[in-house]
Amino acid sequence: MAGLPRDLTASIVVFLVAMPLCMGIAIASGVPPERGLITGIIGGIVVGALAGSPFQVSGPAAGLAVIVFEIVRDQGLSALGPILLIAGLIQVAAGVFKLGGWFRAISPAVVHGMLAGIGVLIVVAQFHVLFDAKPLPSGLDNLAAMPARLFGLSMDWAGAETAFAVGLLTIGVMLAWEKFRPQSMRLVPAALIGVLVATLAASGLGLGVVRVEVPASILGAIVPPESGLLAKLVDPAILTAALAIAFIASAETLLSAAAVDRMHDGVRTDYNKELRAQGIGNLLCGAAGALPMTGVIVRSSANVQAGAATRLSAILHGVWILAFIALLPWLLREIPMVALAAVLVVTGWRLVSLQHVRHLFRDYGLLPAGIWAATLVTVVAVDLLSGVLVGIGLSVLELLPHLKRLRLKIDEEQDGTDGYRIALDGAATFVSLPRLSDSLDRAPHGTAIQLDVTRLSAADHTSVEMIREWLNRRRAGGAAIELTGNDNRIAALA
């Protein structure tokens, strides 16, 4: 229990980060805010206890807001429960059959292009909520309607003008807090400060903006699946949506877990255990009528930066959410909807990482950057699943030059009494990435390691990025690694 004080402090920080995001993501998904809070509670208490990543925090994710919005729009809110039950079962099965490593083989260009597309959709949808208006049915419609919404403002300070002013205030306070906050308060999240200032301004000035609506009791927010569940479980539309959510949620979770592993030197993520935990969480969310969950990088990074020592911090943050909405629901009803929309606008904008596509183009050439762009455009213009499938399809083009020699041979051997050697022979592509990743992770800690790529004929950007992350993580832990060979992209990492 030596780490209890650190876990307690970290859990409060994560709770403060999670509260506005849980509600904002729910609203962006087209469901009542309490559904997002229930997901946060399950993600903290249940998944936190079962997770394979010791410091990852789970809850509703902006990355799934778009697909949930489309499901609710097209099939109704009642379809969400059966979809999550199936998605959860798929994730549990993927973990049981040890498929976690294959999700890591998805090209970083596809993942970041997907996240960028999601970011664009969130920004253009929540832009309309900043005016206390409802988003339009599609991303392109929302984008086309933005100029008219903005130019329709007047100096009358009616409902839309007041709401927009509160939204801009929230964004301005968030950005100012991140830039000028004192070092002693660096762990206080900007989203909390922005929402707090907006709420005080709206209440103090008696502004007529739409407020958040939550039930008096959290038990009243739990909505089990309706009758006719079995018929819905075999509905092709339900099955397709469940498969999409399971795939995207798993990919986002394991991407987040890999990022969290790079932030600390403790126990590494067990990807299959994490998948099983996420599946159980989504099963429970389906039974409660809540939002789907994933591991989320914003809350997870806050957890690590706040000094969490064990998974107890993630569990406690779920307890604090439960206690807050059970004891203080009246306080949530004072929050302006536009304040949560403003938080989502900032969050969505940051998902569009132009820095990442510049990195892809500079280090790997036109094709990976083109995959990123094609994924983004398809997500915005068509839908999320189509964007991911287009990105994965284009990733196969990287295999064409190496079709005659796709095989990768990996030799591992003890080199003397205190050394370890890994030699790669063939082409390192995303097809062989799970096996390559497992081999690198098996290298003993505290031992000098030689990674020999002399006979490596080719390496795609997915494999190079994975090797880069492994090298950085091992070197940060003090390992002595010698990289030998003539592959320019990998040799540049030495």
| 79-102 confidence digits (pLDDT tens) | 999 999 999 999 999 999 988 878
Looking at residue 88, its amino acid is G
Burial zone of 395 (CB within 10 Å; 0-12 exposed, 13-18 middle, 19+ buried): buried
The amino acid that residue 404 corresponds to is K
- C-alpha dihedral (41, 51, 122, 283), degrees to nearest 10: -70
Domains of the chain, residue spans: 4-338, 351-402, 406-491
Report the chain's mean pLDDT, rounded to a whole number: 88
Q: Going by CATH, does the domain composed of 406-491 fall within 1.10.645.10?
A: no
pTM: 0.83
Can you read off the two tokens belonging to residue 302? 């806050």
pLDDT tens track for 328-343: 889 989 999 999 999 9
Highest mean pLDDT among 108-112, 312-316, 470-474, 476-480: 312-316
> Residues with Cβ < 8 Å from 57, sequence gap 6 or more?
14, 18, 43, 44, 48, 295, 296, 299, 300, 302, 303, 314, 317
pLDDT at 270 over 80: yes
- At 494 the pLDDT is 43
CA distance 311 to 172: 34
Q: What distance in Å separates the CA atoms of residue 92 and residue 273, rounded to the nearest whole number?
A: 9
Average pLDDT estimate for 185-194 = 88
Which neighbouring-strand residues pair with 59? 294
The CB density around residue 157, as the number of other CB atoms within 10 Å, is 11
Q: How far apart are CA 339 and CA 28, in angstroms?
A: 12
